[in-house]
């Protein structure tokens, strides 16, 4: 089926030029099975690849040393992950040959998902039917609304992806006990309750960090190098606990869930999931990313904390165009809090007029009552008409009694100013 538009796009195929032969084979076979497929440089596949990734139901990546190397497909994989696409990795080499090509972020994201191996032309014919069956089933589940997102459907063993996990229902710590009594893992209790006691309402960050590293030492070291473990812990401290020196049980439960009814390892798993999202966002918004602009323009429809946090970071980008696009995207998420609104109000004073215009529209989409007097001030004092018009549009979007009254005054003044000009 032709993909001259992106409506109802079934699949995006990510590949390196050196793997074009396999891409063409997969593209042709999938199209013959009535699937609408998009691939870069393929005839009739118009539009940007970032938009195609976000619109597609499924993301298939052809994994080779070239596609996983520098200048490869990692930014496309990252965008697929944060937009919660089912990811189908198709590897051209055996795992032991591929693992040296995987950087940290790709190993974190892709080694946890079942891979398919096309290592010879013989595999093309024998393996494709299973790929088609999995893809068809996944699309059917998506259309029925029963598909479970990538982040929720994968296990956390980080073993060789081709190895079947025969006891996946067992928690990862069910067969492990530490010898030291203080940090013994008790799978029947949540991390907080088992280590600090259910009645303890807060602990110092130093104690929390020490205990977390002790309890999860074996599995963290199995997955990560020391510097990556340090990075993961800093993510917990900075992003989750907001650099608080004292960690309260309420902070902990806000992230991990109630200790009385959560998975005993909920905090650990959710921290890894958050870290995957964060590192994927870093890949998408890296200055060298080929999908950066498309991602910022489109990701307003995703409201998870990692996306919003990354968009907020982009508000400080040196490129005013990126600041403007990030502001619009944040407005489209519908997420608003004191921090976000305050940051957007400051952007009304940005040196770049496009950024000021974007900040006005974003505050309008947020329907921020607090912003009304600031938007009126912009309309009164701004010398550039496009920014004044954006402030007026924003007042209309807020649609409250206060904003409607402000908009009425603005429109009356506009008419009077127009009459004065005409009389001259």
pLDDT at residue 245, rounded to an integer? 95
Burial code (b: 16+ CB inside 10 Å, e: under 16) for 59-92 equals bbbbbbbbbbeeebbbbbbbbbbbbbbbbbbbbb
Q: Which long-range contacts does 36-41 make (Cβ < 8 Å, 24+ apart)?
A: 36/1, 36/2, 36/3, 36/8, 36/9, 36/10, 36/11, 37/1, 37/3, 37/9, 37/10, 37/11, 37/12, 37/13, 38/3, 38/6, 38/9, 38/11, 38/12, 38/13, 39/12, 39/13, 39/15, 40/15
pLDDT at residue 312, rounded to an integer? 82
Rounded Cα gap, residues 2 and 27, in angstroms = 11
Rounded Cα gap, residues 280 and 235, in angstroms = 14
Q: Can you name the CATH fold of 11-153? A: Rossmann fold (3.40.50)
Q: Which of 315, 325, 271, 307 is nearest to 79 (CA)?
A: 307
Q: For residue 65, give Cα distances in angstroms to 73, 289, 340.
A: 11, 19, 41
Quick check: 285 and 306 in contact, CB under 8 A?
no
Q: Which of 241, 229, 253, 232 is nearest to 205 (CA)?
A: 241
pLDDT at residue 158, rounded to an integer? 37
What is the second-level CATH architecture of the domain 336-423? Alpha Horseshoe (1.25)
Sequence spans of domains, the chain: 11-153, 191-277, 336-423
pLDDT at residue 422, rounded to an integer? 60
Q: For residue 193, give Cα distances in angstroms to 99, 241, 395.
A: 38, 18, 49
pLDDT tens, the chain, 424 aa long:
445 556 679 999 999 999 999 999 999 999 999 999 999 888 778 788 888 998 899 999 999 999 988 777 999 998 988 888 899 999 999 888 887 888 878 877 886 678 889 988 888 888 999 899 999 999 998 888 776 555 443 333 433 433 332 222 222 222 222 333 344 444 568 899 999 998 899 999 999 999 999 999 888 887 788 998 999 999 899 888 989 999 999 999 988 888 776 678 889 988 888 888 788 877 887 777 888 878 877 766 666 676 777 788 888 888 898 888 888 888 888 788 888 899 999 999 999 999 999 999 999 999 989 999 999 899 888 899 899 899 989 988 888 888 888 888 877 777 766 655 565 5
pLDDT at residue 150, rounded to an integer? 53
pLDDT at residue 168, rounded to an integer? 28
pLDDT at residue 315, rounded to an integer? 87
């Amino acid at each position: 089926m032709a993909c001259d538009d992106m409506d109802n796009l079934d699949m995006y195929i990510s590949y390196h030029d050196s793997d074009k032969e396999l891409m063409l084979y997969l593209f042709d076979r999938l199209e013959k099975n009535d699937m609408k497929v998009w691939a870069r440089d393929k005839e009739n596949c118009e539009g940007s690849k970032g938009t195609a990734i976000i619109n597609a139901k499924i993301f298939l990546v052809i994994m080779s040393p070239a596609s996983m190397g520098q200048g490869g497909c990692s930014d496309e994989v990252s965008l697929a992950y944060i937009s919660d696409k089912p990811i189908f990795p198709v590897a051209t080499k055996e795992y032991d040959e591929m693992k040296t090509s995987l950087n940290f972020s790709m190993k974190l994201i892709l080694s946890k998902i079942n891979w398919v191996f096309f290592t010879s032309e013989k595999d093309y014919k024998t393996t494709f039917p299973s790929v088609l069956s999995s893809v068809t089933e996944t699309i059917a589940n998506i259309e029925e609304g029963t598909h479970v997102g990538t982040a929720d459907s994968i296990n956390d063993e980080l073993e060789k992806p081709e190895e079947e996990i025969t006891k996946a229902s067992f928690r990862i710590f069910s067969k492990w006990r530490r010898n030291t009594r203080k940090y013994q893992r008790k799978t029947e209790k949540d991390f907080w309750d088992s280590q600090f006691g259910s009645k303890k309402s807060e602990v110092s960050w130093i104690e929390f960090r020490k205990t977390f590293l002790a309890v999860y030492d074996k599995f963290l070291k199995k997955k990560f190098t020391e510097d990556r473990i340090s990075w993961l812990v800093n993510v917990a401290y900075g992003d989750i606990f907001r650099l608080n020196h004292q960690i309260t049980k309420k902070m902990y439960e806000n992230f991990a869930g109630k200790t009385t009814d959560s998975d005993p390892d909920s905090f650990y798993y959710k921290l890894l999931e958050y870290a995957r999202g964060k590192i994927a966002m870093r890949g998408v918004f890296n200055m060298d990313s080929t999908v950066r602009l498309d991602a910022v323009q489109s990701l307003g429809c995703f409201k998870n904390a990692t996306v919003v946090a990354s968009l907020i970071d982009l508000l400080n980008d040196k490129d005013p165009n990126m600041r403007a696009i990030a502001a619009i995207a944040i407005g489209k998420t519908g997420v608003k809090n004191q921090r976000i609104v305050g940051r957007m109000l400051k952007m009304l004073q940005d040196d770049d007029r496009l950024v000021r215009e974007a900040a006005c529209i974003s505050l309008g989409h947020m329907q921020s009552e607090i912003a009304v007097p600031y938007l009126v001030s912009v309309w009164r004092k701004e010398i550039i008409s496009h920014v004044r018009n954006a402030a007026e549009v924003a007042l209309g979007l807020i649609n409250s009694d206060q904003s409607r009254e402000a908009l009425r005054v603005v429109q009356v003044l506009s008419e009077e100013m127009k009459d004065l000009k005409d009389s001259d």
